[in-house]
Amino acid sequence: MNALLDLLASKGATSFADFMRAALYAPGLGYYAKDRRRVGTRRDADFYTAESLGPVFAKLVCGAAWAIAAGSGGAEPLFVEMGAEPLSSVAASACPPFSKAIALERGGEIPQDGSVILFSNELFDAQPFHRVARLGGRWRECGVRIEGGRAVEVLLDALSEPVAAFAGRLPVEASEGYRMDLPLEAEALMASIAAKENVVAVIAFDYGLDWADILYRRPSGTARAYRRHELCPDLLADPGEQDLTCHICWDGLENALRGAGFTDVRTMRQEAFFMRHAMPQMEEVLRRGDVVECGKLRELIHPSRMGAAFQVLLALRRAV
């Protein structure tokens, strides 16, 4: 048994969220804790994101963030990218026109001195999530245990604390076998970000649904695993070697921001965000006429590509 399986075995039967936390983030062992290529179009990567499109995405993001910062008034804020991948960071590309920018890898602390515009790309869908199933007329939490050197799904005797606190919102009329993946830790992360009063704006790129979709219209859940650009059918296979993710809940994240005093909170499709906030940067790409750059721009904004598949949550302490 490898070191990660040994660690998981020592926990006994544990929630899927705890399994995922170890499989993704255990120091030196978890998927995101290893020094390896994860993001990009190369065959040795596992998935690609908008950041894989390089300078075009970075220019559009930074141009939009700058326009948002200018609209809110005050001194120039620090541009902070949270959950940055080492080899594909927007902030690491110098991101003009900001004079101050930093990239925080997962777990990094947001600076407390001076105002911050916080940007993330597919950060919230990488947070541990809980799994529940409607069985025998009641909701049971799905957990994981190591048996015979491999991870297997088990049913926990009781709901974990986060799920128990959420249980009142689970639909009692759900059909037998209905499964849900609950992105509760993504909401907790957003609440911790929103609680930092020097964060004046949040720009979060991701993909997700609202709670109504998750609770009533997704009977198989939304969890998935990726490896070498392929969807993997077994979430428990090879812990530490594949990415695990589920759809985040947009209205849950919005509520966390509003509860912390953000007065202008809205989610829109990626194409709409760039059309509204990064038009000068898009026009510059088109004027240059570089075939490669124009192709990347099309990938970012076309509805049949990333334009509609991804959304952007924009939140401001005061309206722009």
DSSP secondary structure string for all residues of 281-292: HHHHHHHHT-HH
| Of 125, 123, 122, 115, residue with least CA distance to 68 | 115
Task: State how far Cα 209 lies from the chain centre.
Answer: 12
pTM, to two decimals: 0.92
> CA 209 to CA 295: how far, in whole Å?
28
34, burial (CB in 10 Å: exposed 0-12, middle 13-18, buried 19+): middle
Model confidence at 156, pLDDT cuts 50, 70, 90, reads very high
The alpha carbons of the chain give a radius of gyration, in whole angstroms, of 20
| Of 100, 110, 60, 69, residue with least CA distance to 317 | 69
> CA 166 to CA 116: how far, in whole Å?
31
Name the one residue in this structure whose structure tokens are 């899927």.
16
pLDDT digits (tens, 9 = 90+) for 103-118: 898 778 999 989 999 9
Name the one residue in this structure whose structure tokens are 């700058």.
66
- Helices 270-277, 291-301: axis angle to 10 degrees equals 120
**pLDDT score recorded for residue 262:** 96
The sign of the torsion formed by the CA atoms of 133, 162, 213, 301 equals: negative
Q: Are 151 and 142 in contact (CB under 8 A)?
A: no
> Across all residues in the chain, what is the average pLDDT?
90
**pLDDT score recorded for residue 305:** 82
Cis peptide before 97 (omega within 30 of 0): yes
Instruction: With a cut of 70, say whether residue 178 has pLDDT above it.
Output: yes
Model confidence at 1, pLDDT cuts 50, 70, 90, reads very low
| Of 145, 139, 141, residue with least CA distance to 131 | 141
> CA 72 to CA 66: how far, in whole Å?
10
pLDDT digits (tens, 9 = 90+) for 209-249: 999 999 999 999 999 998 877 888 899 999 999 999 999 99
**Cα–Cα distances in angstroms (integers) from residue 236 to residues 8, 19, 148, 273, in the given order:** 12, 9, 13, 36
**pLDDT score recorded for residue 51:** 65
Could you report how far apart the first and last alpha carbons of the chain are, in Å?
55
Bridge partners of 108, per DSSP, are none
